[in-house]
Amino acid sequence: MTPVTRKVRVRVPATSANLGSGFDTVGLALDYHDELEFTLSADPVNTAAQVMIEGEGADTLPRDETHLVVSTFRRACQTFGLGRVGFILQAHNNIPQARGMGSSAEAIVAGIAAAAAFAQDDELNRDAVFELAAAIEGHPDNVAPAVYGGLTMSWDMETPEGVGSVPIPGGEPLHKGFHTINYRVADDLTAAVFVPDYELSTEKARQALPGQLAFKDAVHNVSRVSLLPAAMNPAMLATGQRQDVNALLFAATQDRLHQPYRAPLMEPSWTLIEKLRSHGFASMVSGAGPCVLVLHHGDAREQLGQLASEELASGHWRVLHLGVDTKGVQVERA
Ligand SMILES: Nc1ncnc2c1ncn2[C@@H]1O[C@H](COP(=O)(O)OP(=O)(O)O)[C@@H](O)[C@H]1O
Ligand SMILES: N[C@@H](CCOP(=O)(O)O)C(=O)O
């Protein structure tokens, strides 16, 4: 197959997964992006990848075939029938790596979306990008918002009933694999991300999780995650229901599945989370950490700045005040 263009630009949002209670399920796209440009070599004999990196990871990321965007782009090119191509990748990275802001999902989505844009002339097939990205990442909660934007809830359709073989009245049988749905987020929702100067790989944070959980802890999280869609968008509440939306956010982000087991791996982050929660803020580990996410309806910059003044003055932390990205990955053919 011949590529439909020689240059593609890709813009992918950072994401915060879990939102406390929704481990491996819930994700939120943030208005904070990496931008990448792929230029195909005009020489068919040259199939090498040349990688240039600016910003986050410029001193640490590899510049060879092991670079995650490169390896994913190669794999997606095979999947979409492009074969092995030579290309220059220019990466402008804002998203810090190994901090819980979905950098690996961003890299995977960027590689797949770019390959799809070289392969097809029409609008980006987001479902195809999501399916392949979730399979590569292994959990869908970051890749879903990176692909679709906004607040997503995802699941792996594999049930004892026999996936794809059970007729759904009036509909298609659900296919095996990852699925996602998108919820609206209220316009006044703000996200503050406290970024520490230390890293924690998602792989290491996953190793800290227990093999089994107490039934009451599972019930706890089911009850909390069920509050999230309304806590993120109170317009979901039935007419007449009145709730303090920030109190609802506080309850919705309580968690007993993963954070307690990971806290010892990120003590400074856990200290900040406990401090902010003791003042009523819905603060939590962003993804697998160590970033700290605070969700709030309304502007809480000043209060958060005061509460975290010690951390911010230490020089070991910075804070990003971000809105929600509602578009997901964007591609542009040049
Ligand atoms: N923009 C990027 N370009 C290349 N590789 C990346 C990029 N972002 C992340 N990675 C790879 O993913 C790893 C971080 O993944 P992970 O531990 O899951 O952290 P995060 O919480 O940021 O997703 C990095 O060490 C690197 O190997
Ligand atoms: N559900 C995953 C989310 C990992 O997010 P990341 O941004 O840290 O990669 C987990 O909690 O392990």
- Specify the CATH number of the domain 7-156+325-333: 3.30.230.10
Ligand 1 contact via 99 beta carbon (within 6 Å): yes
Each residue's pLDDT tens digit, 288-299: 999 999 999 999
CATH architecture of 189-322: 2-Layer Sandwich (3.30)
pTM given for the model: 0.96
101 CA → ligand 1 middle, Å = 9
Rounded to the nearest integer, the mean pLDDT of the chain is 95
57 CA → ligand 1 middle, Å = 9
Tokens of 178: 């990852």
The yes/no answer to whether this complex scores an ipTM above 0.95 is: yes
Q: Is the pLDDT of residue 163 over 80?
A: no
Q: Is the pLDDT of residue 189 over 90?
A: yes
Question: Which ligand lies nearest the alpha carbon of 17?
Answer: 2
Ligand 2 contact via 250 beta carbon (within 6 Å): no
Contacts of 45 (CB under 8 A, 6+ apart): none
Report the nearest atom of ligand 2 relative to the CA of 25.
Answer: 1
- Is the distance from CB of 21 to CB of 221 less than 8 angstroms? yes
The domain segmentation of the chain, as residue ranges, is: 7-156+325-333, 189-322
d(CA 26, CA 112): 22
98 CA → ligand 1 middle, Å = 6
Q: Mean of the pLDDT values across residues 38-58?
A: 95
* pLDDT of the residue at 60: 97
Each residue's pLDDT tens digit, 62-100: 999 999 999 999 999 999 999 999 999 999 999 999 999
- Residue labelled with tokens 């026999």: 162
Q: Mean of the pLDDT values across residues 233-248?
A: 86
* pLDDT of the residue at 162: 67
17 CA → ligand 2 middle, Å = 6
Q: Is the pLDDT of residue 224 over 80?
A: yes
Ligand 2 contact via 25 beta carbon (within 6 Å): no
Burial code of 183-212, b = ≥16 C-beta within 10 A, e = fewer?
bebeeebbbbbbbbeeebebeebeebeeee
